[in-house]
Amino acid sequence: MNIMDFNVKKLAADAGTFLSRAVQFTEEKLGQAEKTELDAHLENLLSKAECTKIWTEKIMKQTEVLLQPNPNARIEEFVYEKLDRKAPSRVNNPELLGQYMIDAGTEFGPGTAYGNALIKCGETQKRIGTADRELIQTSALNFLTPLRNFIEGDYKTIAKERKLLQNKRLDLDAAKTRLKKAKTAEAKSSQLNSARPEGDNMVNFFYMLNFLHVKWLKSEQEVRITQSEFDRQAEITRLLLEGISSTHAHHLRCLNDFVEAQMTYYAQCYQYMLDLQKQLGSFPSSYLCNNNHNAGTPVPSALPNVIGSSAMASTSGLVISSPNISDLKESSGSRKARVLYDYDAANSTELSLLADEVITVFSIFGMDSDWLMGERGNQKGKVPITYLELLN
């Protein structure tokens, strides 16, 4: 029973305090009550903390979008994180693309130029996918986690103390308002004291004076208590807010870690693509106007140390010209040439080629400028000049 009485009294006291704060807050908004202003330094710290919180949230959310563009995957990771469970491993986009390329290359045949190139590209895409996974893990650990800890930890503490400071200020201003009203009432009673009533009215009058005086003393004591509590809470809030500078320094170190992770990722990707380019040997793309290859020749996208160093656009396709080729075409002799890339003959008039083999090539009068005659033992046929490197 005593516990119940205590709870009821506490509930009534809390309700009275809440009502007093609500009345004070409303009167301040209506301009009917005075408001205790915080000092400029504390206001600046509060503004800095709020600004830090807003921009940290924006940077954190956009970084999550950068690392994981799929919103459904982000929601799934968030749910697993809240359930304190590890999210299942999923294949990312580069890894999926790489697997498709490898499967396609295997289907087309690893011995063909296109199939072999697809397999090599697929393996590289898988390496890029692994590097992407490492970037996400490193960035989440070294960059996103500290930002999230600030939002969900430090700033929540700051917001809690800031709200408590606001309540203490409302209590202080409400106490000041009551003290002001008590002083006004006592001043009026002092004026009435000059015309003292007689008899029973006089007893009631002095009782009222004593009551107002006690109320005034109680209001003064309440102001002193609320002022002390407000000052103490303001100091606690100020100390927490001054830690924002340390937070900025910590986030700067985390930002450096994020930049290093990105730098490592892009350097890995560049190296993977550079290795792939070397493996492919600047693999040619086919420019075909018909199925017989008569209108054009497959031309590499880049031709370092290869015959045909200058490319000239023509209506029939891309034509490669070179002093060596010109000399060979003008003469009736033959030359040895090394095959740069695998080539599958499109018809019986062409000769299939294997990379790195050496064949004999010569020109025939009236032949298309993009082609030479190739000879390997008893086999002869047309070969594209862009697949060859003349040997001295």
- Model pLDDT, residue 42: 93
Whether 391 contacts 336, CB under 8 Å: yes
- Model pLDDT, residue 326: 59
With vertex at residue 304, the alpha carbon angle to CA 299 and CA 305, rounded to the nearest 5 degrees, is 110
Whether 226 contacts 218, CB under 8 Å: no
> What would the CATH number be for the domain defined by 35-194+208-281?
1.20.1270.60
- Model pLDDT, residue 286: 41
Low-confidence ranges of the chain (pLDDT < 50): 1, 199, 283-323
Residue 186 burial (10 A CB sphere; 0-12, 13-18, 19+)? middle
- Model pLDDT, residue 5: 55
Contacting residues for 113 by C-beta, under 8 A, at least 6 apart: 283, 341, 342, 343, 344
CATH number, domain 335-391, options 3.40.50.300, 2.30.30.40, 1.10.580.10, 1.10.10.10: 2.30.30.40
Give the amino acid at 104: A
Q: How far apart are CA 344 and CA 288, in angstroms?
A: 14
- Model pLDDT, residue 314: 34
- Model pLDDT, residue 270: 94
DSSP assignment, residue 349?
T
- Model pLDDT, residue 218: 75
Q: How far apart are CA 327 and CA 332, in angstroms?
A: 9
- Model pLDDT, residue 313: 34
Domain with CATH 1.20.1270.60 in the chain: 35-194+208-281
With vertex at residue 80, the alpha carbon angle to CA 79 and CA 84, rounded to the nearest 5 degrees, is 120
DSSP for 133-178 reads HHHHHHHIIIIIHHHHHIIIIIHHHHHHHHHHHHHHHHHHHHHHHH
Query: How many CB atoms are closer than 10 A to CB 170?
Result: 24
- Model pLDDT, residue 130: 94
Q: Residue 367: left if φ>0, alpha if ψ -120 to 50, beta else—which one?
A: beta
Whether 147 contacts 190, CB under 8 Å: no
- Model pLDDT, residue 330: 58
- Model pLDDT, residue 256: 96
Whether 374 contacts 361, CB under 8 Å: yes
- Model pLDDT, residue 155: 95
